[in-house]
A and B are shown apart, each in its own frame.
Chain A
């Protein structure tokens, strides 16, 4: 049975969902966090570092919304600042230098739209990610865990494989924003969600994503599903030569 888009939007925003830090904690051994964009800032909304995934060194980058109120404010509720994108790009390039696969975990309403973000070049930061990641010579796999908001999510979802949890969304803007632009009425968000084709099954049909990860209510089961997909896809991508990897990545986006 076809799911209601509005219900998926609500489920994607559920505070009890599995989080990036939780995935790192249970699937990555000896995770060593690495900080900073090397340009003067360290965005707390993004956690990145190196760890072992089934004995394989990997770079993991996740957005983080935080737990306490103070944390959530500091992390802009999971909205990345330009420094966050620059940190992610630095870590992805570092991973490529040492042939480490990259795992990106995304749950963000979008790039942070504050005054300081504009002053520090939010557009330019996202643009650099898109430009550079298109030819980074190492496998990059992204899982969208909850909200995948616009260019802010795309900047961490432009690699080789994009997967989504069953209860997640990926769209050009929020259904509320869409409804308020279209009908000047943000309360019609459910109607907007239905038109936008933002749920995983719609996106899989359009080949925007490569697969959907089943998401039972039990976190241990979700983590085990994520573990299986990551093992399967990383091992597949690692078998490709760099030329084939980059050609496939090119073709993946060229089809749109």
Chain B
């Protein structure tokens, strides 16, 4: 009994010491890589926000990515706003919060961009806007991105990051998959290059449409790419599934993506592909 008491006293003592320390240490000093578990001092992360150990790219907003990706960018369709087609409870409030948080009108940033002397249409999905879900405005912006690129005879690069369909917009979210696919096919028929870069996470209806329709499909290291969610798969299988089932590396091995590219290399890799790949 005495032994237990001593332990309790000791642990209580330790917790107290930690609490005092907490007040003097700013939040977020350390981060843990969600893939390999390596602890990283936040200020050691560079502008790319990647794990120095396994090269996993942490989730970043569209504008943050834009900052190091291109030499020039002109944004388009930044004024379109969702009409809330289902009058979904609390949806307007959620949209307002996400617009403020990301400074985007919906889950994708689109425009025309330049790397070196290469001009192209660019779309970057933002995982912080309702999980990058595919809403009507997302679909309209991506469709217009391809339509404009077809008209101006430009290649398109699209960075995907999405939880899939946007529940709050119901079937109209699903219709975006068909609408975007049509615009991509027309862009393709015109002989123009489309490159997708799959980032963590790319899932559901986005994987089942424009993410997988690129002429060239790249992915960031260890990014989660799949159709069904892990829990759904495990419920169907009645067992645990391999940890790496939906890792980009597994998709590479199975022949569904062309290359894994580290974030630091993306700009030069894309510049080369724009010049010689299309």
| A, B from the same assembly | yes
Known contacts A127-B209, A172-B173, A206-B171: A115-B139 contact under CB 8 Å: no
A253 touches B182 (CB 8 A): yes
Alpha-carbon gap, A172 to B210, bound state (A): 17
| Chain A residues closer than 8 Å to B170, beta-carbon distance | 171-172, 196-198
B184 touches A131 (CB 8 A): yes
> Interface-forming stretch among A29-37, A118-126, A220-228?
A118-126
A123 touches B226 (CB 8 A): yes
- Binary B-proximity of A129-144 (CB < 8 A = 1, otherwise 0): 0111011000000000
| Chain B residues closer than 8 Å to A182, beta-carbon distance | 167
B165 touches A117 (CB 8 A): no
A127 touches B207 (CB 8 A): yes
| Chain B residues closer than 8 Å to A135, beta-carbon distance | 182, 185-186, 189
A114 at the interface (CB under 8 A from B): yes
A121 touches B254 (CB 8 A): yes
B212 touches A127 (CB 8 A): yes
Instruction: Identify the closest chain A residue to B217 (Cβ).
Output: A124
A181 touches B86 (CB 8 A): no
Q: Which of A119, A120, A151, A249 contacts B208 (CB under 8 A)?
A: A151
Alpha-carbon gap, A181 to B246, bound state (A): 21
- Binary B-proximity of A183-220 (CB < 8 A = 1, otherwise 0): 00000000000011110000100101000000000000
A178 touches B167 (CB 8 A): yes
| Chain A residues closer than 8 Å to B225, beta-carbon distance | 123
| Chain B residues closer than 8 Å to A178, beta-carbon distance | 167
Q: Which of B171, B182, B233 contacts A114 (CB under 8 A)?
A: B233
B67 at the interface (CB under 8 A from A): no
A154 at the interface (CB under 8 A from B): yes
Q: Which of A112, A114, A158 contacts B178 (CB under 8 A)?
A: A158
Alpha-carbon gap, A195 to B89, bound state (A): 9
Interface residues, chain B, with chain A CB atoms under 8 Å away: 85-86, 88-89, 136, 139, 143, 165, 167, 170-179, 181-182, 184-186, 188-189, 204-205, 207-213, 225-229, 232-233, 236-237, 241-242, 245-246, 250-251, 254-256
Could you give 30 example pairs across A and B, Cβ below 8 Å?
A: A111-B227, A111-B228, A120-B254, A121-B256, A122-B208, A122-B227, A123-B207, A123-B211, A123-B227, A124-B212, A126-B209, A127-B209, A127-B213, A134-B185, A150-B165, A151-B177, A151-B204, A154-B178, A158-B181, A170-B171, A171-B174, A172-B170, A206-B85, A206-B171, A208-B172, A208-B175, A249-B182, A250-B182, A253-B175, A256-B179
Interface residues, chain A, with chain B CB atoms under 8 Å away: 111-115, 117-124, 126-128, 130-132, 134-135, 150-151, 154-155, 158, 170-173, 178, 181-182, 195-198, 203, 206, 208, 249-250, 253-254, 256
